[in-house]
Structure 1
Amino acid sequence: MSEVAGDAPGAGAPGANAPGGGGPEEVLRVPAFALFWSATTIRALGSAVAGVAFQVLIVTVIGATALQISILSALGVVPYLFLGLIVGAVMDRWRRQPTLVITSIGRALALASIPVLVLTNALNFWSLAAVVLTLGVLTLFADSAAQPFLPHLVSRRSLVMANARLGQSATVAGTAGPALGGALITLVGAPLLFVFEAVILAVAALLQSRIRVVETRRKARAPGRHIGHDIAEGMRYTYRHRMLLPLAVSVHLWFLANSIVTTLFGVFALRELDVPEWAFGLILAVGGLGGFLGALLAPRVGSRVGAGRAILLGRIVTVAPWLTLALLPLTAATSLALLVPVLAAAQFLYALSQGIEDANEMGYRQAVAPDALQGRMNATIRTANRVIFFFGALLAGLLATLLGYRVTIGIAAAVFAVAALVIVFSPLRNARHGDQHTIESTPV
C-alpha cells in the first residue's frame, strides 16, 4: 500500500480536524459537521419532495411504460459504468469540499430546467432522460466526495453517531417531504416542485461553502504510476480485506434487490393498485418515520451487538416487507383501508432496516480504511453497487412484464435473504466498532 496518510493531525488523517479525547462527542457541536449536516438535511428535504414529483411526472405526465420507467431509473447510475472508479481515485487527490459545492450548484441548474421544458412543451421521455443522466453525473462526483470527507469533520470514534445524525435528518426529511410533495402537487403541480428543489440545492451549496477544514494535497504519483494503478490498488484493498470483502458482497446483493423494488414500487402502487397520489405520499412519509427510528436506534444497536450483527439485523428485517407484498393478493379492487396500511407498513419496515444498518455499515467502512484510500474503497463498492442497480433496474422492467409485479417483488425478497446469509457465514458477523485497529487493514 502506497501514499497512505498517517494518523497525525494535519496529515490528512481521518478526524484530524475534529476534537479528540474521551468518548464520542455530540457531533452537532462540531461547527464543520453542523454545517455539513445542515446542507445535507435541507438537500434531503428537497430531494424527498422532488422524488414524489419525479414519480408522478414519469407516470402521469409523460405516461412512461414500465420499460421506460426502468430505463429512467437505470440512467441515474449510468455514469458509474464509465466514471465511477476514475472519480473515486480522483477524489483521493482532489479537495472534496469544493467538489460538493460545485455539484450542488450543478444539480440546482439541472432541476430548474424541468419547469422550462414543461413551459416550452419540450418535456418528453428523451429530454427527461437527459436531465436524469446529468443529475447522475453530478451525484457521482458528490457521493465520491461526501463519504471520504466525513472522517475529516469528526473523529473516528464518532463516525457511527455522525452517520446516524445524517440518517435521522434524512429520514425526517423523508417523512415530511413526501407528504408535503403530495400536497403541493395537488396545489401547484409537479413542475413547480422542481423550482423548490433547485432553491434548496442553492442554499445547500452556500452552507457547504462555509465549512472550514484542512484537506492535505496528496503527493504526486511516483514515476511510472498512473490513475489505473490507483484504481487497482483501491480494488485490491477492498476485495482482499477480510471484513470489507463480505460486506461488499452483501451490499452488492442488497443493491440488486433494492434496484428491483425501488424501480417497481411506485408504479406498482400508483398503477397496479390504483393508489391515489395523496395516499402514495402518505405511504412514503410513514417509511420516513421508520428510517428515523432506525437511525435513532443505530448507534445503540451497534454498540450493544456490534457492527456486524447490527448490519445483519437490518438485512434480515429487509426481507419481511417485500415477502409480504409478494404473497398478499392485493389488487386495485382492494379497499384503501387495507391497501394503505399494508403498503405503509412495508415502507416502514424497509426504511427501519436501512436506518439501523446504514449508520453502522458506513461508520465501520470509514473507520477501517486509511484516508488515502477512502475515496477508492468507497468508489469500488459504490461503483459496483450502481452497476448492479443499472442492470437490476432494467431487469425489473423485464421481469415485471413477463412475470408480473408480485412475482418480481418475491424474487427481490429472495435476493435480500441471500445478502443476509453472506454476513451469517462470514467473520463480519462478529465485527465490532472500535476493533478496526486490531483487524487486518491491509490486503490479505
Structure 2
Amino acid sequence: MPDFDELIPAKPGPDKADEAVTGRPPISFSLRAHPSFAAYLTGEAASLLGTSAHAVALPALAVLVLHANPGQIATLAVLSQAPAFVLALPAGAYVDQHPKRPVLIGSDLVAAAAVAAIPLTALGGMLSFPVLYAVALIVGSATVLHLAVAIAVVPELVPAPLLHEANSRVGSAFSLADTLGAYAGAGVVAALGAVHAFWLDALSYALSAWCATRIRLEHRARPAQERERLGSAMWTGLVFVAHTPVVRPLVPSLSLTGVGATLIEVYRAYYLLTVLDAGALGLGIVTGVCGIGGVIGALKAPRLAGRFGPGPVMLAAFGLYPVLGVPLLLARPGPGWLAVLALTGAVQMAAATCAGTTQRSVRQQLTPAKLQGRAQQTSTWLVSGTRPFASAGAGVLAGAFSVPTAMWTGTAILCLPPLLLLVSRVGRLTAMPLAVVSPIQEAA
C-alpha cells in the first residue's frame, strides 16, 4: 500500500485537478447530462421522504396510540438496526459481483409491502407491538440491502471529477426529502392519525422502485466463473479498509459516532413527546428544521473542502456535533425551547451531512470499482453494526437510571471521534485524494 503522503496531491486549481484525475478537460455537473443519476436521485429522495414520515409516525403511534414504555422503544430500535450487523458484509460482497439494479428494485418492493402491513392490521383491529417489531426487522433488512447498492453505485453514474459534487447533491436532496417527509408525516399524523402516515411511506418505496427501473449502469456484474466465494469476498473488503491509510482512521471515529448518536436517537423522539411535551406537530417541526440544516451542510461541503481541505472540514464537523446536542438535554417544555432545539439541531445536522458527504467522497475516490460495495458495507458494518448493541445499552441505562442518563452517555461518547481525528493523520488531508479509475472509465 502507498504511504499516506502519496495519496495527498498538491492543491491544484479545479481545472487542473480534473485533468490530473481523468486526462480530459473538466466536466460541468448537470442532471440533464446524467439521466441515470437523476433517476437515482429522484427515487432515493422519494424513498427517504416516506421514511422520514415514518420516523415521525412510528414513535407517535408507539407512544400515543400503543402507550409504549422505554423498553419497547429500545426494542423497536434494536430490531430495526440488527440487520446491519448480520447482513452488511454479505450484502457488500454480493452487490460487487451481481447486478445492482434488481437489488434496488426488490428491496424497495419488500419494504413497501412491510410498511403497508401497519395500516392494514390497524384496519383489522390487529395492530400490536409484535406487528411493529416484525415490520422494523423486515424494513431494516431491506434497507441494508438497498443501501449496499444505493451508496456504492454513485461512482458508476458520474465521472470521477464530479463525485464530490454528486455526493453533495445526494446529501442535499436527502436532507430536503427528510425535511419534507417530517412535515408531511407530522401533518398526516395531526390530521388523520399516525396509522395513515404509513401509506405515504409505502407509496414512496413504490415510487423509488419505479425510478430504479430507469437507471442504466455502465459497470457490469462479474461473470459467474470469476466471482469470489462470499467469505473470501467479504475478507477482501475488510483487508482493503484496514490497509488504506486515509480510510483506516475514519472507521473508529465513525463507529464511535454511531454508538453515541444511537444512545441519543433511541430516545430523542420519546424525550420530545414525553418530557418536553412537544406533541407530534412539535416533533415534526424540529425534525424538519434539522433537515434544512442538512441540505445546507451537504451543499456547502464541496466548497468548504476545496477551501480548507477535507481533513480540517471533517475535524470541525465532528467537533461541533456533540456540542450542539447539549441543548436538548437542558431544554424545558415550551415553544421557546423548541425554537432553540430546531436551530441547534439544524446546525448539528449541517455538520453531520458536511462530514458525511466529505468522508464518503474521499473513500469512493480511493476505492476501485470492483470493491465499492465491499468498502462501503465494511464501513456500514463497523458503524451501523454497533447500533443494535448501543440501542440495547440505551435500554439498560434508561431502565437502571433514566432516559437522560442514556442520552448524556451518548453525548460523552460523541466527544471521542474528533479527538481521534485530531491525533490521526486525517487532519493533514488538505485536498481530495487522486481518484482511482472510475467505473465509467473502466467501461470505456
Whether TM exceeds 0.5 here: the answer is yes
Give the direction of change, closer, same or farther, for the CA distance of 1:425–1:191 in structure 2 (3 Å limit): same
Gaps of at least 5 residues in structure 1 are 2-18, 439-444
Matches within 5 A, 1:416-427: 416-427=414-425
Q: Which letter maps to 1:286? A: V
The equivalent position to 1:176 in structure 2, one of 180, 183, 200, is 180
* CA–CA separation in structure 2 for the residues paired with 1:109 and 1:324: 38
**Equivalent pair of 1:27/1:33 in contact (CA under 8 Å):** no
Matched, 1:301 2:304: yes
Q: Which letter maps to 2:416? A: V
Residue 408 of structure 2 is matched in structure 1 by: 410
Secondary structure of the corresponding residue to residue 211 of structure 1:
coil
Residue 395 of structure 1 is matched in structure 2 by: 393
Q: CA deviation at 1:215?
A: 2.9
**Equivalent pair of 2:260/2:413 in contact (CA under 8 Å):** yes
Residue 76 of structure 1 is matched in structure 2 by: 80
* CA–CA separation in structure 1 for the residues paired with 2:43 and 2:31: 13
Residue 191 of structure 2 is matched in structure 1 by: 187
* CA–CA separation in structure 1 for the residues paired with 2:221 and 2:67: 49
* CA–CA separation in structure 2 for the residues paired with 1:196 and 1:21: 44
Q: CA deviation at 1:165?
A: 0.6
Matched, 1:50 2:48: no
Q: Which letter maps to 2:104? A: L
Bigger drift between 145-154 and 170-179 goes to: 170-179
The equivalent position to 2:360 in structure 1, one of 359, 362, 365, is 362
Q: CA deviation at 1:302?
A: 1.2
Q: Which TM-score applies when normalising by structure 1?
A: 0.89
Bigger drift between 150-159 and 170-179 goes to: 170-179
Secondary structure of the corresponding residue to residue 220 of structure 2:
coil
* CA–CA separation in structure 2 for the residues paired with 1:222 and 1:53: 46
* CA–CA separation in structure 2 for the residues paired with 1:345 and 1:402: 32
The equivalent position to 2:35 in structure 1, one of 31, 40, 53, is 31
**Equivalent pair of 1:316/1:417 in contact (CA under 8 Å):** yes
Secondary structure of the corresponding residue to residue 95 of structure 1:
coil
Q: CA deviation at 1:351?
A: 0.8
Give the direction of change, closer, same or farther, for the CA distance of 1:294–1:182 in structure 2 (3 Å limit): same
**Equivalent pair of 1:269/1:280 in contact (CA under 8 Å):** yes
Residue 230 of structure 2 is matched in structure 1 by: 227
Q: Deviations over 1:393-416 (max 9, x none)?
A: 111122123332333322212211
Secondary structure of the corresponding residue to residue 245 of structure 1:
coil
* CA–CA separation in structure 2 for the residues paired with 1:180 and 1:220: 45
Q: CA deviation at 1:24?
A: 5.0
Gaps of at least 5 residues in structure 2 are 2-21, 437-444
Give me the identity figure in percent: 27
* CA–CA separation in structure 1 for the residues paired with 2:235 and 2:222: 18
Matched, 1:134 2:138: yes
Matched, 1:125 2:129: yes
RMSD in angstroms over aligned alpha carbons?
2.1
Q: Deviations over 1:163-190 (max 9, x none)?
A: 1111111111222221222121121112
Residue 146 of structure 1 is matched in structure 2 by: 150
Q: CA deviation at 1:357?
A: 0.9
Secondary structure of the corresponding residue to residue 121 of structure 1:
coil
* CA–CA separation in structure 1 for the residues paired with 2:58 and 2:189: 11
Q: Which letter maps to 1:300? A: R
**Equivalent pair of 1:100/1:142 in contact (CA under 8 Å):** yes
Q: Which letter maps to 1:212? A: R
Matched, 1:263 2:250: no
* CA–CA separation in structure 1 for the residues paired with 2:63 and 2:434: 46
* CA–CA separation in structure 2 for the residues paired with 1:35 and 1:21: 26
Residue 14 of structure 2 is matched in structure 1 by: none
* CA–CA separation in structure 2 for the residues paired with 1:120 and 1:390: 31
Q: Deviations over 1:79-118 (max 9, x none)?
A: 2232221111111101112210111111111111111111
**Equivalent pair of 2:310/2:432 in contact (CA under 8 Å):** no
Matched, 1:292 2:295: yes
Bigger drift between 255-264 and 190-199 goes to: 190-199
Give the direction of change, closer, same or farther, for the CA distance of 1:403–1:338 in structure 2 (3 Å limit): farther
